[in-house]
Amino acid sequence: MSLLAPPFLYLLAAVLIPVLGSRSRALLLLLVPVFGLISLLSYGYGNHLVIPMLGFELTFVRLDKLSQIFGIIFSIAAFLAAIYAWHVDDKIQQMATLVYAGSAIGGVLAGDLITLFLYWEATAVASVFLIWARRTPASYATGMRYLIIQVLSGVLLLAGLLLHYNDTGSIAFDHLGLVSLGTWLIFIGFGIKCAFPLMHNWLQDSYPAATVTGTVVLSAFTTKMAVYALARGYAGTEILIYIGAIMTLFPIFFAEIENDLRRVLAYSLNNQLGFMVVGVGVGTEMALNGTAAHAFCHILYKALLFMSVGAVLYRTGTSKASELGGLYKTMPVTMVCCLVGAASISAFPLFSGFVSKSLILDASVSNGYYIVWFALVVASAGVLSHSGIKIPYFTFFAHDSGKRPAEAPMHMRIAMIITAVLCVFIGVFPGALYALLPFEVDYKPYTVSHVLSQMQLLCFALLAFVFLMRNGLHPPEERGVNLDSDWVYRKLAPGLMPAIVNAIASTVTSAQSSAKDAVVSFTRRVAGISRPGGILSVNWGVNSMVLIVTVMMLIVLLFNFS
Amino acid sequence: MIADQLPALQIVIPMLAAPLCVLVKRSNACWAIALVANVLVVINAFALLHQVRTDGVIRYALGGWAAPTGIEYYVDTMNAIMLLLVSFISCVTLVFAYTSVKKTVVTGKHYLFYAAWMLCLTGLLGISITGDAFNVFVFLEISSLATYMLLAFGSDRRALTASFRYLIMGSVGASFILIGIGFLYAATGALNMVDLAQRIPDAESQRAVLVAFSFLTIGLMIKAAVFPLHGWLANAYQHAPIAVTAFLAGTATKVSLYVLLRFFFSIFGPNYSFGAMLLNVVLLPAAIVGFLLLSLVAIFQTDLRRMLAYSSVAQIGYIVAAFCLATQSGLTAGIVHIINHGIIKTALFMSVGCIIYRVGHAHIGSLDNLMKKMPLTVTAFIISGLGLIGVPLTVGFISKFSLIGASLERGWWMVGALVLVSSLFAIVYVGRVVEIMVFRSSRTDTPEPTGMREAPMSMLVPMYVLIGISLWFGISGSTTLSVASEAAAALLGGYQ
Amino acid sequence: MTDKPAKPIDDKQEYTPLAKRFLWADSSSAVERVIFYLSVTCTVLFVLDFIIHRHAYAPGEGIPGFYAVVGFVAFTLIVLGAKQLRRVILRNEHYYSPFSVDAENYPDAGLDKQQYQSSVDDTHDVKREGG
Amino acid sequence: MKLYRRQRHRVLQIVTKLIIPFVLLFALYVQFHGDYGPGGGFQAGVIFASAFVLHGLIFGLQRTRQVITPSMLRVLMALGVLIYLGTGIVSMLLGGNLLDYDFLAHDPKHGQHWGIFAVELGVGVTVTAVMISLFYSFASKR
């Protein structure tokens, strides 16, 4: 029976993948989330599956209302992604999807830090295959960067949990708070996966590099698992409020000028995470409700947006705004679904974003964080600008690109329509969602003043868009790469400061050539000595080996006789 | 009755198999003899481990001459583990060797190959089981000489130079060890390990003991391929027949590490080795620089075997670093990693063996899209590669987890942090190979080798046996951890 | 590789019924009309703010037209700010290549590029590109 | 007198023929006297092998190879080890530890005698074989 616990079910199915035929694999992918959800709901609240491992008692299923809602939405997301990926006939992607979704669910069900860590790393390792599955050298490089950052997050979590264990003697995953070095490390580990500012680039770097279906899968799990972890361990940590506020604001600017639509969505994902992080930081029951609800809605509409952009990519071969336009003529269903997603993320009344985001806004304002609240309002207008307008407008309308792709395949349309219906359903009947939230909800989203203020905000923002377009002030879509903080490790560090050295050296002309050479050659030298034929990996001759022995002997004698 | 004779049988069986192979001379028959002997040895080792864990230390006097006078075999949990590990790895690699040896070794010399293999096994088991310092040297020489021969069986001409280099370095190392033992004998008048351990505290201040200590340090570092003295290893592993590489990678350096443990913990005692003698001033930096630098070197390698060889040296760095903590948990971590690394590295070299068997070389750059042609082999490589990185639920994770935990417990943060850094390197070098094998499509300009298919069953089965065990150990880490911590306690407790 | 068909199939009669409902997007007069409706909506919303008393939590939130101004100004500033930001951070698409996917096309193996055909036609006539 | 190539060292050859049996005999003496006086398998083996080395030097490698062939040497090598180990195993079968000669006869003293005798024989055979094959491989032109 324990094998049928949700995370194990997924892993078990993943093992079956290699031996199944093409269609039965796709079917398996579709069925596993269904059974996973049934299995999840069949557990009562409390700890189950406590297994001794590594000398600890590990709790594999800890079900309460907080983990339940994340478990449910993860199952739904896995199901929708499976429909959307019905056409995929790639064992590696299918296996990675199952392991990834399973370990994400395992992560939110984990009752202790070690189990959490196990799944934390499993998501990292599994998900990178969705990027590598694109099978280009560039996606390999991107995947490698992604993997290293994800594993780094896991490593920090591991270090933190060991310290925490040393301090407290407990591995329980409950409220941690920023009280010691250990908890700080865990916090940073969570922060990396949650794409905190300056740790966010992996997200924008990797999501556009994944496969069409891979991005849809990726968008659902990693970051939301981190949000859950933060909500579990660091609810009410004030620093999160400000981190969240910054997260909602700065990606807007990048999203606005980014050309690759999947990267626009990645930035917008970052911005939406900001709302959730603010909710965690405020930490009241209402705010945590808001975080959970927003995560729920967000997974749906972000998946919907990624699906529609993915469908366009699937049919046209590009997701660059500058190459697209006028597609509504031949992909109307995709367009309508995209509009629903856009309306949801922009929080138009009757769409899902409206009923969840307002919980967080209200929580922040009622706790007196006015500046943060104002930042969130501004960010809401910003969300409209890039996800609400830019994605559908530049893809399906704007100038006609002359492309007449066929409508998305049937299974993609089905996936998108179901997701769109869910978005609208939650928007219209928020009670259904509110019933799932971790705490008692006493909130009415549809009040006159609330609807009015939101409509004002959005309509006037639309008006501003019209105004800007009319006056030619809106930045045109251009091909290109926008720098972000990953520039530091992708350009600055590898090119390693020849520029800086140059600047210094030009003032100190005498040192110029030597200093520059030294720094430029440093990176090369590290590689140089390690390459085959380099001093470290050359075939050492007997003479030099014996010389080393002698030197070592001298050193040893020196120490032993001192 | 036979239960009393287990320690002797452990050595006698493989030693008997060697001359039998020479007499029989027919390739398949030799293999069968060696395999039967090996299976018996595994069972024997298992029984020994069981016996030790239930009844405590076993002391077996050879020829009936009691301990300080005669040679004795001394079995506690620590060397029972080593016996089981060595004989088991030898057993699976021997099964694996059946097919691959036919391809690489000249037909008329198979019987010599298997005889040398059995002698090597005898030597390694002997080192592990004996309780006599000089006997260690004797068995060390038996295993080394057999190893030189096994290495020279490589089909590549460079195998000869590699073997010769190893011969020189191995002899230097063995002489250092011999000199060390000689000095110890001069200072204490004892060769029996238990006896030595009792007498050394009185002779501690003697110059001879100090010199002996230094010689043993260097000698064992060479034999175990600890960082600056690892030069012989990469070549030897690259050019030897791949079955031999798999065998040696899992056993030879591990046994040397065991001897290191024996001498520095049981005989000299941790207080002397790591207190008075500042052994960690020498070993710890060497270990740390080793695992950092050689993980880096592994990234840049173009030959798969060489990459794994450098990764081996890096892993030895972890083990030595764990020893240097000189605490119960540190030793446990080191011993667990000896077991775990032995298993996964052997599995890795086996998968490389499968690749070489079918592709004919192990040049990383041209293994593109191998997943299509040899899915089982590549899967095995990926699983054990993940173990090498230390991904959770693999054995590597257990090792790294306990190593980092131990270093934090000791208060050496940096060691733990650096281990993590070098794990990131491991991700790169394993990931690079996996990416090429799984995702990179074949280049169009090279003609597709026709008829490429999965490696034969006789190679796949032993590989998957190892992988199954590694997964089992990875998922229920408590099995190995509890045994290893018993062993560590035995080592720290000194001889009873 | 060009994604443009030799001759775009652009007979508006062949679009699906759903697509036909959006054809106004191509006519400038219709767009003008939409913008007009939007302006009317905005005006109405703005006026409503004076009539209906909104519940205010934050200081200043109660001022009539608060959200309208914030919406308009924030949007404008974001767009203009982003435009300035682009001047600083925009680089050539090949800036990071070959280590980034920006400059490369999505590999055709993962795609199913199809040109539109009227829905009357059978799907097996669909003209495939690439692949 | 014209000497054929093979006859050139006739004196040496004849003297050698005379000496070799004594060398062998001396080797056997050293071998079997080893348990009482100085000597034993190692020394005896070397002396025994030296007879063949001498034969090889005087009569040429070809003829020595016919006297004792390399494959025979290999058998002898293995055989020596087997004798050695066999003694140990027999002592184990008779209820003692490995190589515990006390059990080889009724009287432990006799047992020791027999045990050392057998073990030294094994050593002697192996050392002889190894020495000769070393000589073969160094002396052969390959």
The pLDDT assigned to B457 comes to 87
List, for residues C31-60, the tens digit of each pLDDT value. Answer: 888 888 989 988 888 888 888 877 777 777
> D–C contact (≥3 CB pairs within 8 Å)?
no
Scanning every residue of chain B, which has its alpha carbon at the shortest distance from the alpha carbon of A137? B440
Query: In angstroms, what separates the C-alpha of B260 from chain D's closest C-alpha?
Result: 27
Q: Do C107 and A136 touch (CB under 8 A)?
A: yes
> In 3-state terms, what secondary structure has residue C127?
coil
- Same domain, yes or no: A442 and A302: yes
From chain C, the residues in CB contact with A207 under 8 A are none
Domains of chain B, by residue range, sit at 291-496
The pLDDT assigned to C6 comes to 43
A contact residues 37-76, partner B, Cβ 8 Å cutoff: 52-55
Query: In angstroms, what separates the C-alpha of B253 from chain D's closest C-alpha?
Result: 27
C contact residues 38-97, partner A, Cβ 8 Å cutoff: 38-39, 41-42, 45-46, 48-49, 52-55, 57-59, 61, 65-76, 78-83, 85-86, 88-93, 95-97
Q: What is the mean pLDDT of chain B?
A: 87
From chain B, the residues in CB contact with A140 under 8 A are 435, 439-440
What residues have CB less than 8 Å from B486, skipping those under 6 apart? B53, B77
- Same domain, yes or no: A373 and A428: yes
Scanning every residue of chain B, which has its alpha carbon at the shortest distance from the alpha carbon of A149? B424
At which of A194, A210, A228 does a domain end? A228
The pLDDT assigned to D4 comes to 64
CB count, 10 Å around CB of B443? 10
> In 3-state terms, what secondary structure has residue A112?
strand
Residue D87 pLDDT > 50, yes or no?
yes
How far is the CA of B423 from the CAs of A96, B304, B380, in angstroms? 22, 18, 20
| Helix, strand counts (H, E) of chain A | 23, 3
The pLDDT assigned to A553 comes to 85
Instruction: Let me know: does D101 contact D115? Beta carbons within 8 Å.
Output: yes
Instruction: Let me know: does D103 contact D96? Beta carbons within 8 Å.
Output: yes
A contact residues 125-144, partner B, Cβ 8 Å cutoff: 125, 132-133, 135, 137, 140, 143-144
CB count, 10 Å around CB of B98? 19
Quote the CA–CA distance of B379 and B376 in Å, as a whole number: 5
Residue B278 pLDDT > 80, yes or no?
no
**Which of the other chains make 3 or more beta carbon contacts under 8 angstroms with chain C?**
A
Q: State the best of A161, A539, A562 to mutate against chain B, taking most chain B CBs within 10 Å.
A: A539
Quote the CA–CA distance of A494 and A59 in Å, as a whole number: 43
Share of chain A above pLDDT 70, in %: 90
Residue B448 pLDDT > 80, yes or no?
no
What residues have CB less than 8 Å from A540, skipping those under 6 apart? A548, B231, B232
Candidates A121, A166, A536; nearest CB to B391: A121
Candidates A336, A447, A459; nearest CB to C18: A336
CB count, 10 Å around CB of A381? 27
Quote the CA–CA distance of A389 and C38 in Å, as a whole number: 14
- CA-based radius of gyration for chain C: 24
Instruction: Let me know: does A249 contact A219? Beta carbons within 8 Å.
Output: no
Does residue A403 belong to the interface with chain C, where contact is any CB pair within 8 Å?
yes
The pLDDT assigned to B447 comes to 53
At which of A191, A208, A228 does a domain end? A228
Candidates B19, B20, B64; nearest CB to D102: B64
List, for residues B160-212, the tens digit of each pLDDT value. Answer: 888 888 999 999 999 999 999 999 999 888 888 888 888 888 887 788 888 88
- Same domain, yes or no: A486 and A498: no
**Residue C123's pLDDT band (cuts 50, 70, 90):** very low
The total number of structural domains in chain A stands at 3
The pLDDT assigned to C2 comes to 43
Most confident of A119-123, B432-436, D37-41: A119-123
Q: State the best of D74, D75, D85, D97 to mutate against chain B, taking most chain B CBs within 10 Å.
A: D97
Q: What is the ipTM of this complex?
A: 0.70
Place of tokens 């000194």: B494
Quote the CA–CA distance of D125 and D79 in Å, as a whole number: 8
> Which chain B residues have any C-beta within 8 angstroms of a chain D C-beta?
1, 5, 8, 12, 15-16, 18-20, 22-23, 60-64
Query: In angstroms, what separates the C-alpha of B459 from chain A's closest C-alpha?
Result: 20
What residues have CB less than 8 Å from A445, skipping those under 6 apart? A354, A355, A358, A359, A430
Candidates B277, B297, B408; nearest CB to A163: B408
Quote the CA–CA distance of D55 and D17 in Å, as a whole number: 8
**Residue A480's pLDDT band (cuts 50, 70, 90):** confident
The pLDDT assigned to C120 comes to 43
- Same domain, yes or no: A438 and A400: yes
Scanning every residue of chain B, which has its alpha carbon at the shortest distance from the alpha carbon of D95? B1
Q: Do D81 and B18 touch (CB under 8 A)?
A: yes
Instruction: Let me know: does B341 contact B224? Beta carbons within 8 Å.
Output: no
More confidently predicted of A496 and A412: A412
Q: Do C58 and A211 touch (CB under 8 A)?
A: no
Scanning every residue of chain C, which has its alpha carbon at the shortest distance from the alpha carbon of A262? C102
Helix (H) or strand (E) holding A103: helix A91-109
A contact residues 32-71, partner C, Cβ 8 Å cutoff: none
More confidently predicted of B469 and D99: B469
C contact residues 12-41, partner A, Cβ 8 Å cutoff: 12, 15-16, 18-19, 21-23, 25-26, 35, 38-39, 41
Q: Do A534 and B300 touch (CB under 8 A)?
A: yes
Quote the CA–CA distance of D67 and D45 in Å, as a whole number: 17
Query: In angstroms, what separates the C-alpha of D99 from chain B's closest C-alpha?
Result: 4
Instruction: Let me know: does B35 contact B27? Beta carbons within 8 Å.
Output: no
* DSSP summary character for residue B74: E
Per the structure, the complete domain to which residue A516 belongs is given by: 493-561
Query: In angstroms, what separates the C-alpha of A219 from chain C's closest C-alpha?
Result: 18
Query: In angstroms, what separates the C-alpha of A348 from chain C's closest C-alpha?
Result: 13
Does residue A348 belong to the interface with chain B, where contact is any CB pair within 8 Å?
no
Candidates B22, B60, B64; nearest CB to D78: B22
- Same domain, yes or no: A433 and A514: no
B/D interface, count of CB pairs below 8 Å: 52
Query: In angstroms, what separates the C-alpha of B300 from chain A's closest C-alpha?
Result: 5
- Same domain, yes or no: A51 and A79: yes
- Same domain, yes or no: A170 and A301: no
Residue A325 pLDDT > 80, yes or no?
yes
Average pLDDT for residues A278-289, to the nearest whole number?
92
Instruction: Let me know: does B152 contact B163? Beta carbons within 8 Å.
Output: yes
What residues have CB less than 8 Å from B58, skipping those under 6 apart? B6, B7, B48, B51, B52, B73, B74, B75, B76
Q: Per the structure block, which two tokens stand in for B208?
A: 């001879």
**Which of the other chains make 3 or more beta carbon contacts under 8 angstroms with chain D?**
B
Share of chain A above pLDDT 90, in %: 39
- Same domain, yes or no: A207 and A287: no
CA neighbours within 13 Å on the CB side: how many for A47? Answer: 12
Does residue A473 belong to the interface with chain B, where contact is any CB pair within 8 Å?
no
Biggest CA-to-CA distance, chain C: 64
Quote the CA–CA distance of A552 and B445 in Å, as a whole number: 49
- Same domain, yes or no: A215 and A342: no
List, for residues B143-153, the tens digit of each pLDDT value. Answer: 999 999 999 88
Phi, then psi, of D95 in degrees rounded to 5: 105, 0
Instruction: Let me know: does D137 contact D64? Beta carbons within 8 Å.
Output: no
Q: What is the mean pLDDT of chain A?
A: 86
Identify the sign of the CA torsion A149, A151, A157, A158: negative
- Same domain, yes or no: A247 and A370: yes
Instruction: Let me know: does A309 contact A265? Beta carbons within 8 Å.
Output: yes
Instruction: Let me know: does B432 contact B444? Beta carbons within 8 Å.
Output: no
**Residue C129's pLDDT band (cuts 50, 70, 90):** very low
Lowest mean pLDDT among A45-54, B262-271, B274-283, B293-302: B274-283
From chain B, the residues in CB contact with D78 under 8 A are 18-20, 22-23
Q: State the best of C37, C101, C125 to mutate against chain A, taking most chain A CBs within 10 Å.
A: C101
Candidates B169, B217, B303; nearest CB to A556: B217
At which of A449, A464, A492 does a domain end? A492
From chain B, the residues in CB contact with A51 under 8 A are none
Which candidate, B432, B478, B434, places its Cα nearest to that of B296? B432
From chain B, the residues in CB contact with D88 under 8 A are 8, 12
